[in-house]
Structure 1
Amino acid sequence: MTFTDNLKHPLEVWAGVECTVNRVGEKYFDQLERNGHAVRLDDLELFAGLGIKKIRYPVLWERVAPNGLDNADWSWSDERLGRLQELGMTPIVGLVHHGSGPRDTSLIDPAFPQKLAVFARAVAERYPWIKHYTPVNEPLTTARFSGMYGHWYPHGRDNLTFIRALLVECEAIALSMKAIREVNLNAQLVQTEDLGKTYSTAKLAYQTEFENERRWLSFDLLCGRINQNHFIWDYLCKSGMSETQLQTACVNSYCPPDIIGINHYLTSDRFLDENLENYPACTHGGNGRDNYADVEAVRVCADSVAGVYTLLQEAWKRYNLPIAVTEVHLSCTREEQLRWFYEAWNAAQKLQNEGIDIRAITAWALLGSYDWNSLLTRAVGYYESGVFDLRSPHPRPTAIAKLVCDLATGHQPNHPLLNTPGWWHRSERLLYPAVSCINEGSTDWEIVSGKQTYPTPNFQLPTHPLIIVGARGTLGKAFARLCEVRGITYCLLSRQEMDITDPAFVDAVLGELKPWAIVNAAGYVRVDDAEREPHICLKINTEGAAILATACAQHNAALLTFSSDLVFNGAVTNPYVETDNAAPLNVYGCSKVLAEKLVLQAYPASLVIRTSAFFSPWDEYNFVTIALRELSAGNTFVAAEDAVVSPTYVPDLVHASLDLLIDGESGLWHLANKSAIAWADLARLAAKQAGVSIKNLVALPTQQLGLIAPRPTYSVLGSDRGQIMPCLDSAMSRYFEEITNLSSTSLF
């Protein structure tokens, strides 16, 4: 293929909705029900607004016809597919997405292929205008999870069940496409599969060679490459299937894809190592010949793992068929999600320029996904946001939405955070002793000392940092600490380095550093002292914040600043939301209310976050840490029994605030861990988890604590904009985990 030929297919942005309906035992897990798309037609307008032209979209067998075609309900599909037509989006229709079909069949049912083909024909007859199909998503992956690892129905844990499931799925794809093409001769197969690469030590090179051949099995079956001369043939025969059965299955599975869809995740690349002592027991396994640990390659390989670029090259060389990356998603912080997607896009563009027929990059999980951290074996509500975040009353576009829109409409993304390599390119990715993984077929393996970086794409040096104001405070230090972890270039400034109450000083610093954003973590925080020196409190909290807002507006830099739950008077018994009227009881609260008003007047694009009752593993002076230190020492600790708050775990606050800042959010937001608890009960909760006695805990009414500044007895923060913070129990558990990790410098 020449470059001229390639111009016929400029790189497109596709998208997809996570729509898995998988079965565990007798229970079905339905992502469309979990993400609410099952009842939100308006989502399609949001998707169209991204500028995408193709979308992977479900018409799932289990949902449409769980009780047979005679009882099928097409109403949902009719409405959605019709609306996609109106919006100008071409659906790539999926019929089974990690599923095993209705209850009367399974992936090892010999009749599964014919049954799915009957459904496929019905879909084609009902929607004859649809051209692109994925009858079975990721058949190899689904066969592994259902037949080898036992995660999903029919819960097999052996090679025979795995192979039977894979052959049934591939035959189902072939029969389904045959049925569809009898209705629509021009129908195209867009066949998806998760694809990673395996690395190992020299001793396990034989296992690596096997794994790196087995990963192609679904595509090899569909492309007619499996025969007695195939590397995997003996393995297939030894599984328990006869050669005649295999030959028949291979013939029945022949259906070369029109487009090969490659899905790749960071966990897809694996490393095998017989040195079990270097790895936790949960990673230990074996093949009957050798015992070894199986870990994420990115966590141990000192050098570059395959990456999207190499995998796409390999797929092209093996099949010489058009390729699309049909899922790009990373469960991570927002800027890392951006970096992962953009890296995949750039790799595809580079391959296109080299003459390889790459059609598209797919923004996967438009609405995010639920419980994939447990491989969909439990429904506990673990949510990963995607292009849109569902933790708001309506799907909220994230920074990924802007990136997708830019790429889909031919605009160059320009966010400065894209210039920093993702964590998978940085040295902190290494969790185990680093091993050279340059060539999995070589015997030249070497354990290397220390943590090393490996070659990365050509990134520009970041020139626009994030400024963090408040170098001496708990919040400023936490922002710096987590920006370091997240690969966000920052400048942590003290008052001497930028006095926010001096307009000329602020203007000079912004002019010199040219930040893309400023985090105002500075402030006057002594609530009782503010009653005695209101002029100082107002100058720092109010005037300083307003000066920063004016300067940010002039320098076109985003602003994140913080307010407090003390802007409320406690006259209610339901959590305060952003639109509730502020009515502070003290000087500190007044300074924050006025700051909110002046900041948003001067710079409406500012993000103002109200928060409450900090606790952190990284400082000695927050309520939880002090309570535990005093109680564990046998000292008396006094806390209010009637003042109800919503405590905020500082690491959660920083992560959520940064995500919102990167997303370009503005206006008032409430961020606190979901809870409503009195101060004394918070001390009891912390002490219970720490195993500390509460016999010296004294719970008193707020009026008996001798506080100078009046405080509300109820200041719980809720939100009408989005509940994006974890619950208090989760935060408390992670607080103690971090304290344990820092045990050499224990705070209590």
Structure 2
Amino acid sequence: MYPQFIFATGIENSYPTVAGRRVDQMEACGHYRHWREDFALVRELGLSFLRYGPPLHRVWQGDGRHDWEWTDQAFAELLRLGIVPIVDLCHFGVPDWVGDFRNPDFPALFARYAGAFAERFPWVQLYTPVNEIFICAQFSGRYGWWNEGERTDRGFVTALKHLVKANVLAMEAILERRPDALFIQSESSEYFHAVNPAAIAPAEAMNQQRFLSLDLNYGRRVDSGMYEFLLDNGMTRDEYHFFLGRHLRRHCVLGTDYYVTNEHLVEADGRTRAAGDIFGYAEITRQYHERYRMPVMHTETNLLEGPTGGEAVAWLRKQWANALRIRNAGIPMLGFTWYSLTDQVDWDTTLREANGNVNPLGLYDLDRKIRAVGREYRRIVEEWSSVLPTHSHSLVLPVRPLGEHG
């Protein structure tokens, strides 16, 4: 076992379809050209864990048809370097032949893909089958930004139920091949603040909806208002009871993502705008832990480097302090992640515009030069790695050494 707290980074592998064009962050950020160097940078930071996944739209050529050539090389290098991947199998998009998240066949198809991946890479133990389900369903089905481009509650529920079912079936398929697999479900931790008394009702509804992806994923019964919301927008009783009948929590870690955009101000008419960092990561994660009573991992955060170069460093220090606060309160906090390794492209418009804007969010820039936040993260990892396992109020994730599997 690895008797250690998990310090991680990630390599952004989003690939949604936006207005008919595929937006591939691995291509935009140069990872296909620099993947060996990128993996070496992970080790340079002193990290042994990486949130990472192959590009689904390139690998998954059809039901039962896969192009593993590049993935075989990349994962062989991870194994050689001793980097433990937390494998992200679906990140905001599907191949063209699947269509989009309205396709009711997607969950079963994706489960077969997940099973094929687990068979090909039996040494992989950690997975995020479907990344940020709530955000993907919001952006694709309710905001009209990605993939199916719908702008309705029904579009949101349709995407949500198919994404969660795909995640659940994928976990089951992976466990058939690797019974000790562990699932770190990276999900956006949100909060909606009412700006006045007239906004309390819509804010309360949004604060219930933020939990729906995880409620369904972990088989937690929703309250009566959310049950009516789901049924009014296309979920059937049988579909709802499918989720209640699964018992996968014991294989899971609750991964919570937090950005400065995760808190929202809500108007009386339901309109929202950014609130900034009001409650903060520790308080919102406490709410999620109180609901699910599961081990937690901080799975994403970042901030623009800023005009002085110190804004991202200050944000990292604040998020790390929040993670330590959670641990000191007795909540089992298993890991921390700055996401991602390198800068990203066009996230300032949530990938909706192809401007080629480089967003300085990474530990390294796109020339693979370390940023100030990268140096600070390396310092935190070096100084805290040997302390946390022995001065810990949390569990240790039972991760086997690479190459060892049941």
Q: Same fold (TM over 0.5)?
A: yes
In 2, Cα distance between the equivalents of 1:126 and 1:47?
24
Per-residue CA deviations over 1:675-728 (Å, capped at 9, x if unaligned) read: xxxxxxxxxxxxxxxxxxxxxxxxxxxxxxxxxxxxxxxxxxxxxxxxxxxxxx
Counterpart of 2:181? Answer: 187
- 1:333-352 correspondence runs (5 A): 333=306, 334-352=309-327
Q: Which amino acid aligns with 1:54?
A: F
Counterpart of 1:606? Answer: none
Counterpart of 2:330? Answer: 355
Task: Measure how far apart 1:243 and its partner are.
Answer: 3.0
Alignment of 1:324 onto 2:297: yes
Residue 115 of structure 2 contacts residue 170 of structure 2 at CA under 8 Å; is this kept in 1? yes
In 1, Cα distance between the equivalents of 2:179 and 2:83?
21
Aligned partner (choices 287, 298, 301) of residue 314 of structure 1: 287
Question: How many residues matched?
Answer: 378
Task: Measure how far apart 1:247 and its partner are.
Answer: 2.9
Q: Which amino acid aligns with 1:188?
A: L
Task: Measure how far apart 1:240 and its partner are.
Answer: 3.6
Counterpart of 2:259? Answer: 265
Task: Measure how far apart 1:208 and its partner are.
Answer: 1.1
In 2, Cα distance between the equivalents of 1:56 and 1:254?
25
TM-score, normalised by the number of residues in structure 2 = 0.88
Aligned partner (choices 215, 221, 229) of residue 226 of structure 1: 221
Counterpart of 1:367? Answer: 342
Q: Which amino acid aligns with 2:183?
A: L
Per-residue CA deviations over 1:175-226 (Å, capped at 9, x if unaligned) read: 1111111111111111011112111111111111111111111111111113
- 1:100-499 correspondence runs (5 A): 100-200=94-194, 201-227=196-222, 229-248=223-242, 250-251=243-244, 255-256=248-249, 258-274=252-268, 286-287=269-270, 293-298=271-276, 305-333=278-306, 334-385=309-360, 386-390=362-366, 394-410=367-383
Per-residue CA deviations over 1:106-145 (Å, capped at 9, x if unaligned) read: 2111110111111101110110000011111001110010
In 2, Cα distance between the equivalents of 1:252 and 1:130?
27
Aligned partner (choices 28, 51, 56) of residue 56 of structure 1: 51
In 1, Cα distance between the equivalents of 2:61 and 2:357?
27
Q: Which amino acid aligns with 2:131?
A: N
Unmatched segments (≥5 aa) in structure 2: 386-406
Using CA pairs below 8 Å that are at least 6 residues apart, which structure has the higher relative contact order?
2
Q: Which amino acid aligns with 2:286?
A: Q
Residues 255, 150 of structure 1: CA spacing in aligned structure 2 closer, same or farther, 3 A cutoff? farther
Residue 158 of structure 2 contacts residue 234 of structure 2 at CA under 8 Å; is this kept in 1? no
In 2, Cα distance between the equivalents of 1:14 and 1:42?
17
Counterpart of 2:393? Answer: none
Unmatched segments (≥5 aa) in structure 1: 1-7, 275-285, 288-292, 299-303, 413-748
In 1, Cα distance between the equivalents of 2:94 and 2:38?
27
The percentage of aligned residue pairs carrying the same residue is: 28
Larger Rg over CA atoms: 1
SS at 2:16 equivalent: strand
In 1, Cα distance between the equivalents of 2:224 and 2:304?
36
Aligned partner (choices 38, 45, 50) of residue 43 of structure 1: 38
Residue 42 of structure 2 contacts residue 48 of structure 2 at CA under 8 Å; is this kept in 1? no
In 2, Cα distance between the equivalents of 1:195 and 1:220?
13
In 1, Cα distance between the equivalents of 2:137 and 2:255?
17
- 1:15-26 correspondence runs (5 A): 15-26=9-20
Residues 411, 173 of structure 1: CA spacing in aligned structure 2 closer, same or farther, 3 A cutoff? closer
SS at 1:42 equivalent: helix
Q: Which amino acid aligns with 1:43?
A: D
In 1, Cα distance between the equivalents of 2:4 and 2:73?
30
In 2, Cα distance between the equivalents of 1:266 and 1:39?
31
SS at 1:367 equivalent: coil
Task: Measure how far apart 1:149 and its partner are.
Answer: 0.8
Residue 367 of structure 1 contacts residue 395 of structure 1 at CA under 8 Å; is this kept in 2? yes
In 2, Cα distance between the equivalents of 1:85 and 1:271?
45
Alignment of 1:34 onto 2:28: yes
Q: Which amino acid aligns with 1:46?
A: L
Residues 347, 52 of structure 1: CA spacing in aligned structure 2 closer, same or farther, 3 A cutoff? same
SS at 2:261 equivalent: helix
Alignment of 1:66 onto 2:61: yes
Q: Which amino acid aligns with 1:310?
A: E
Residues 411, 190 of structure 1: CA spacing in aligned structure 2 closer, same or farther, 3 A cutoff? closer
In 2, Cα distance between the equivalents of 1:84 and 1:161?
38
SS at 2:23 equivalent: strand
Task: Measure how far apart 1:10 and its partner are.
Answer: 5.1
Residue 221 of structure 1 contacts residue 253 of structure 1 at CA under 8 Å; is this kept in 2? no
Task: Measure how far apart 1:172 and its partner are.
Answer: 0.4
Residues 103, 378 of structure 1: CA spacing in aligned structure 2 closer, same or farther, 3 A cutoff? farther
